[in-house]
Structure formats: C-alpha cells, structure tokens
C-alpha cells in the first residue's frame, strides 16, 4: 500500500529543473532517507512533495487513504522563526491548524493532542517558555511535536540535525526511529550518512547524473553509495 | 489642568477625537507583530505613500470624503504589491520604492497645481504629518472609523489562529493545506484599511510608526504571541490617549506627539527588557 508514488518526476523552479527522472514509492511505515550533495535538489523535492513548489513534469500519485495534506513537516529553519515571540505551547498548538476546518478556535480535542505530543517530546514542562530562548535540540523537539499534531501518518524532515551537537543528534535520531516503530512513515533529508542511514529502510540518492532509489541493503551494495559512504 | 480638560471635554469634537484615536490606535497595533515578522513593514510604508497620493487626487476632485478614493486605491495597491512580491517578477523592494516615491511626487504636484487654498504647503504638511484635523472630525467620519475598526477587530479575532500560523511558518501551514495566499491577502487588505484610518490621526508619514512601534516595544518584554498582541494594543491605546491629551494641553501637533509617546514607551520597554535579563 503506497502513500506516495513519483513517476518520472522533475522538480525545479520557474520551469528550470534542478533534478529529473525521480521515481520512487513511499509505503506505509517506510523510513526513507534522501541523500545527495548540496544543491542536488533535496529540499526542492521535499517542497514539491509538500505542494509548496509545483512539479515541472511527471506525476505525483497519492494512494488509498492518504491525502496530500496529511503530513507533518519539519523545515530547514528560517531566520524569521528565530526572533518570533511565541511560547512552546502556541507553536505546538498551531500544528492543529488544518484540523480546525471552518472553526475559528481550538477545542479540547486539539488541546489534548497538543498536550500528548508535548509530553511525548518531553517538552511539556517547557510549554510556557519562549521558543527563541530554547536550545537547538529543544527547538527541534518543539517543531517535531508540532509536526506530530498535524499528522499521525507521515513526517517530512529536512536536515533536522544540522547545527546540533553529536549527543543531541543521536538522541534526535533515536526519537525519529521510535516514531517510525510506532507506525509513522518517515521521509528525511540527511547529510550525515552514518547515523542518518542507520534506521532507514529505503534510500533516495540524488546524484549529479543518476538518481538511485531502493532499499538500504541494495543501496549499500550499489555504485552510488561507494564514494559516498 | 483638570478643569481645563473638563471644559475641553464638553465639546463633542474633543470626544470624537478620543473615540477615533483610541480605535485607530487599537487596530493599528493588532497586526504590528505580523507586519514586523513577515517583513511586511516596508509594504506598510509604501502603502502610506500611495494613500497620500490618493488623498491628493481626492482633494483635487473635491470629493465629499477622501476615504472614497484613498480606501479603494490603497487596498488595490496592497493587493498588487503582495502579488508582485510572490511572483518575484519585479524585485519586491524596488517595486515598492518606485510606487511609493511616485505617489509622493504625484500627490505633491497635484496639490500644488490644483489646490484652491492659499496655503498649499500647509495642506501638504497636514496630509503628511496629520493635523489638528482629528479635532475637526465630522460625526460621519467617526461612524466610518467605528464601523471599519469593528470589522478589523472582528476579522483579527476570528482569524487569530490562522494569522499566527501563517506568520510563524507559512510553509508549514501551506503544507498542511491552509490557504496561505488567501490569508496573506487578508492581512494586506487589513493593513491597507488601517493605514487609511490611521492617516486621519497621525498623517501618512507617521502611520508606520503607529503600526510598528507598539509591537516592537511589546516584543522586548513579552515572549509569547498572545501576550505581545495584548500588550502592544494596550501600549498603543495608552500612547494615543496620552498623546492627544498632551497635544491639547500643550498645543503640540497631534500625530507627532502620539508618535513621540510611542517612542518613549519603546525606550521604556527596552530598559525593562534589559533589566529582566
Ligand atoms: N526559491 C528558489 N528559486 C530558484 N532556485 C532555487 C530556489 N531555492 C533553491 N534554488 C536552487 O535549486 C537548487 C537546489 O536547491 P536545494 O533543493 O535547496 O538543494 P539541497 O537541499 O539538495 O541542498 C540550488 O541550485 C538552488 O540554488
Ligand atoms: Mg536543503
């Protein structure tokens, strides 16, 4: 049962492709890791799958009980968020925004989901604190809690550990793995191969002229991985 | 002094001025945080110049109310600037600079050529810096302000959570299916309305100050969104009322006095913020 299928997908901006011929299939419960050099188009592919950027050609198919917006997203951080005056609670609560449908305010259901995810990420005690005063690892866990409020099916992460120290990084990967074990499908861009790939089930390698997609076992045996791993 | 104020408050136009001033201050501070954080403050600036140009056209045409022309023109410009910003065809900043400088020049020229009054520079000064016109405000305009303020406040409350989401992280909101384009448009239209309303109080050059200062001040001392919104509206209303009082008692220009109060509060908040650390 596939959630998302890409057929000969080309992604890029203003009609100019950055990466072409992407074929892949993300199934329920997969842990897909996207690797490749800087500028290979990893973030662009992510944004295309999230409907933030229009595909240049090819198809994205969503299947069965998955809809295109049923996703939690952990973006590469932007500057604006850094000085934003918001409490941890406000940010995680905002992950429920799409669940409001036509209601103006959050109800008990959204609040209890927020509480559950804050506890899961071990940030419940910090809920009143200001986001901008948190450490890098804590910020990522807050944004992860927000993403979990948005979807219980699919989590998309773009270089979630850049700028974190090794211990926090290891903890973060453990957390992602735990979520995957609980049934969440993971799609993650990572440039830190050793730890990033450890728990992956599938790999998308975006090379200069060739794009590889397959299981991790096949990837480790393949040519693409040779100079990379 | 109290007696002096009491006599002043017997006049309806003084009461009107305070009603209008309070409402405008309240509305203008609501979207301050969003404006600052979405890097829209320059749009606010550009729009106020467009509104000045429209106002000049209005006075040349001798319309019964300048709002008839400033409101639609400013809203239109807000929509155009926002679309331009998104399509990235013209560089956003340059487009805004062009539009705003052109409107200033055209507005001034029109007022010079067609003005029937003897005191053109006085008129221009009034439109740019606000005037005592807030003290000569008509009951009709008071109702106009009340109605639009009600709309702005209501829209802000109803869409509060969406405005937060779109301001904090537009991509996240969009990825979960929120119509971010629509909310950006809504924000731009509200900004345009606020600017046109605020021009009556502080004039078109100073209106940005009325929008930005309270938010910046509140952000110094409070670190959550709701708190910042509440504090910035309180600060803004306080500055408007005290500024009006001072300007009546000391006969200083209304707009400049209010903005000076906003500046003062900004320094106070900076100091408090520094002490808290
Ligand atoms: N908004 C944009 N408009 C046009 N080109 C862009 C935009 N964002 C990124 N690019 C270009 O697309 C290419 C791929 O970028 P990106 O997907 O961010 O790479 P990666 O995440 O793999 O490092 C880069 O050459 C970059 O300059
Ligand atoms: Mg990237």
Residue of A nearest to B89 (CA): A14
Which span out of B42-46, B128-132, B155-159, B173-177 was modeled with the highest average pLDDT? B155-159
Q: Which are the contacts of A225, defined by CB distance < 8 A and separation ≥ 6?
A: A203, A205, A219
- Give how far Cα B236 sits from Cα of A153, B25, B118, Å: 44, 5, 36
Atom of ligand 1 nearest to the CA of A159: 21
Is residue B147, in this structure, part of any structural domain at all? yes
DSSP H or E stretch at residue B56? helix B41-60
Instruction: Place B225 in a pLDDT band, splitting at 50, 70 and 90.
Output: very high
What is the rounded average pLDDT of the residues B254-258? 89
What is the rounded average pLDDT of the residues B38-50? 79
Nearest CA to ligand 1 atom 18: A43
Is the confidence at residue B171, as pLDDT, over 80? yes
Name every protein residue with a CB atom under 6 angstroms from any ligand 1 atom: A 13, 18, 36, 38-44
Task: Look at residue B60 in the predicted model and tell me its pLDDT.
Answer: 78
A84 closest CB neighbour out of B37, B161, B176: B37
**Residues within 5 Å of ion ligand 2, judged at the Cβ atom:** A 43
Is residue B85, in this structure, part of any structural domain at all? yes
Instruction: Place B118 in a pLDDT band, splitting at 50, 70 and 90.
Output: low
Query: In Å, how far is A212's CA from the nearest CA of chain B?
Result: 26
Task: Look at residue B134 in the predicted model and tell me its pLDDT.
Answer: 67
Averages of pLDDT over runs of 10 residues in chain A (229 residues) are 85 90 91 90 92 90 76 76 87 93 93 96 94 90 94 91 88 92 92 80 87 86 68
As a whole number of angstroms, the distance between CA A170 and CA A150 comes to 24
Chain A residues close to B167, C-beta within 8 Å:
84
Whether B225 sits inside 8 A of A87 (CB atoms) is yes
Nearest CA to ligand 1 atom 27: A39
Å from CA of A40 to ligand 2 middle: 8
Both structure tokens of B201? 């109080």
Is residue B277, in this structure, part of any structural domain at all? no
Instruction: Place B173 in a pLDDT band, splitting at 50, 70 and 90.
Output: very high
Give the distance from CA B31 to its chain's centroid.
Answer: 10
Is residue B13, in this structure, part of any structural domain at all? yes
As a whole number of angstroms, the distance between CA A75 and CA A21 comes to 24
Chain A residues close to B219, C-beta within 8 Å:
83, 85
Å from CA of A158 to ligand 2 middle: 7
Nearest CA to ligand 1 atom 4: A13
What residue ranges in B33-106 does DSSP mark as E strands?
none
Both structure tokens of A50? 């999230």
Is any Cβ of chain B less than 8 angstroms from the Cβ of A84?
A: yes
Q: Edge to edge, what strands does the sheet with A2-13 contain?
A: A16-27, A2-13, A57-62
Other beta carbons within 10 angstroms of residue B209's beta carbon come to 20
pLDDT digits (tens, 9 = 90+) for B55-100: 888 877 877 677 778 889 989 988 887 776 665 545 566 777 788 8
What is the rounded average pLDDT of the residues B116-138? 67
**Phi and psi for A195 in degrees, rounded to 5?**
-80, -35
- pLDDT: which is higher, A149 or B129: A149
pLDDT digits (tens, 9 = 90+) for B227-239: 999 999 999 999 9
Is the confidence at residue B131, as pLDDT, over 90? no
Query: In Å, how far is B30's CA from the nearest CA of chain A?
Result: 14
Length of chain A in residues, anyone? 229
Q: What is the dihedral of CA B125, B130, B133, B134, to 10 degrees?
A: -170
Å from CA of A11 to ligand 1 middle: 10
Instruction: Return the sign of the alpha-carbon dihedral for residues A12, A16, A19, A20.
Output: positive
Instruction: Place B259 in a pLDDT band, splitting at 50, 70 and 90.
Output: very high
Is any Cβ of chain B less than 8 angstroms from the Cβ of A199?
A: no
CA nearest neighbour of A40 among A59, A57, A19:
A19
Identify the nearest ligand to the CA of A45 by its number: 1
Both structure tokens of B240? 């408007």
What is the rounded average pLDDT of the residues B267-274? 95
What is the rounded average pLDDT of the residues B136-160? 90
Chain A residues close to B228, C-beta within 8 Å:
85
**Phi and psi for A20 in degrees, rounded to 5?**
-130, 170
Chain B residues close to A71, C-beta within 8 Å:
175-176
Other beta carbons within 10 angstroms of residue A96's beta carbon come to 22
Atom of ligand 1 nearest to the CA of A37: 22
Instruction: Place B249 in a pLDDT band, splitting at 50, 70 and 90.
Output: confident
Domain span including residue B170: 2-270
Query: In Å, how far is B264's CA from the nearest CA of chain A?
Result: 22
Query: In Å, how far is A20's CA from the nearest CA of chain B?
Result: 22
Is any Cβ of chain B less than 8 angstroms from the Cβ of A155?
A: no
Beta A154-158 vs A72-74: how paired, if at all? parallel
Is residue B230, in this structure, part of any structural domain at all? yes
DSSP string, B57-69: HHHHTT-S-THHH
Instruction: From A10, A41, A160, give the residue whose CB has the most ligand 1 atoms within 8 Å, as the site to mutate.
Output: A41
CATH number of the domain within which B105 lies:
1.10.3470.10
**How many CB contacts within 8 angstroms connect chain A with chain B?**
96
Chain B residues close to A151, C-beta within 8 Å:
176
As a whole number of angstroms, the distance between CA A228 and CA B64 comes to 73
Beta bridge partners of A13: A16
Both structure tokens of B19? 């009603």
Task: Look at residue B58 in the predicted model and tell me its pLDDT.
Answer: 81
Query: In Å, how far is B162's CA from the nearest CA of chain A?
Result: 7
Task: Look at residue B69 in the predicted model and tell me its pLDDT.
Answer: 85
As a whole number of angstroms, the distance between CA B65 and CA B140 comes to 10
Is residue B153, in this structure, part of any structural domain at all? yes
Instruction: Place B224 in a pLDDT band, splitting at 50, 70 and 90.
Output: very high
Beta bridge partners of A205: A35, A212
Average pLDDT, chain B: 84
Atom of ligand 1 nearest to the CA of A47: 17
Percent of chain B with pLDDT over 70: 88
Count structural domains, chain B: 1
Nearest CA to ligand 1 atom 5: A13
Is residue B276, in this structure, part of any structural domain at all? no
Both structure tokens of B244? 């009006």
Task: Look at residue B201 in the predicted model and tell me its pLDDT.
Answer: 75
Q: Most A CBs within 10 Å: which of B161, B180, B186, as the mutation test of the A interface?
A: B161
């Amino acid at each position: 049962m596939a959630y998302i299928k890409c057929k000969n997908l080309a992604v890029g901006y203003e009609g100019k492709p950055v990466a072409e011929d992407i074929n892949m299939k993300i199934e329920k419960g997969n842990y897909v890791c996207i690797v490749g050099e800087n500028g290979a188009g990893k973030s662009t592919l992510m944004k295309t799958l999230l409907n933030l950027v229009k595909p240049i050609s090819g198809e994205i198919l969503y299947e069965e009980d998955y809809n295109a917006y049923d996703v939690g997203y952990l973006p590469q951080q932007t500057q604006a968020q850094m000085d934003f005056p918001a409490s941890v609670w406000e940010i995680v609560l905002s992950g429920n925004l799409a669940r409001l449908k036509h209601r103006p305010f959050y109800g008990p259901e959204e609040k209890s989901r927020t509480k559950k995810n804050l506890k899961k990420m071990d940030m419940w005690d910090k809920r009143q604190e200001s986001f901008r005063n948190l450490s890098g690892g804590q910020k990522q866990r807050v944004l992860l809690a927000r993403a979990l409020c948005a979807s219980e099916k699919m989590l998309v992460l773009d270089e979630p550990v850049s700028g974190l120290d090794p211990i926090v990084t290891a903890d973060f990967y453990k957390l992602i793995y735990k979520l995957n074990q609980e049934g969440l499908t993971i799609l993650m861009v990572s440039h830190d191969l050793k730890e990033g790939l450890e728990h992956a089930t599938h790999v998308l390698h975006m090379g200069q002229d060739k794009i590889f997609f397959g299981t991790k076992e096949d990837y480790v045996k393949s040519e693409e991985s040779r100079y990379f791993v | 002094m109290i007696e002096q104020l009491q006599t002043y408050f017997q006049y309806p136009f003084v009461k009107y001025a305070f009603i209008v001033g309070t409402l405008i201050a309240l509305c203008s501070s609501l979207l301050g945080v969003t404006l600052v954080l979405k890097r829209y403050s320059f749009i606010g600036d550009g729009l106020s110049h467009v509104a000045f140009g429209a106002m000049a056209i209005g006075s040349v045409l001798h319309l019964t109310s300048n709002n008839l022309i400033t409101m639609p023109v400013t809203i239109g410009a807000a929509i155009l600037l926002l679309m331009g910003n998104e399509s990235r065809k013209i560089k956003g900043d340059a487009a805004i600079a062009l539009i705003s400088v052109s409107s200033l020049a055209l507005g001034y020229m029109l007022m010079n050529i067609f003005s029937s009054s003897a005191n053109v520079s006085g008129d221009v000064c009034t439109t740019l810096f606000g005037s005592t016109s807030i003290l000569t405000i008509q009951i009709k305009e008071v109702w106009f302000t009340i109605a639009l303020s009600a709309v702005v406040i209501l829209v802000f409350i109803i869409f509060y959570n969406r405005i937060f989401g779109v301001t904090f992280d537009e991509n996240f909101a969009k990825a979960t299916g929120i119509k971010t384009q629509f909310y950006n448009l809504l924000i731009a239209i509200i900004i345009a309305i606020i600017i046109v309303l605020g021009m009556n109080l502080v004039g078109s050059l100073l209106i940005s100050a009325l929008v930005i200062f309270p938010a910046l001040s509140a952000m110094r001392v409070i670190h959550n969104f709701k708190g910042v919104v509440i504090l910035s509206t309180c600060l803004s209303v306080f500055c408007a009322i005290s500024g009006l009082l001072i300007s009546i008692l000391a006969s200083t220009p209304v707009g400049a006095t209010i903005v000076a109060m906003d500046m003062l509060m900004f320094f106070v908040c900076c100091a408090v913020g520094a002490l808290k650390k």
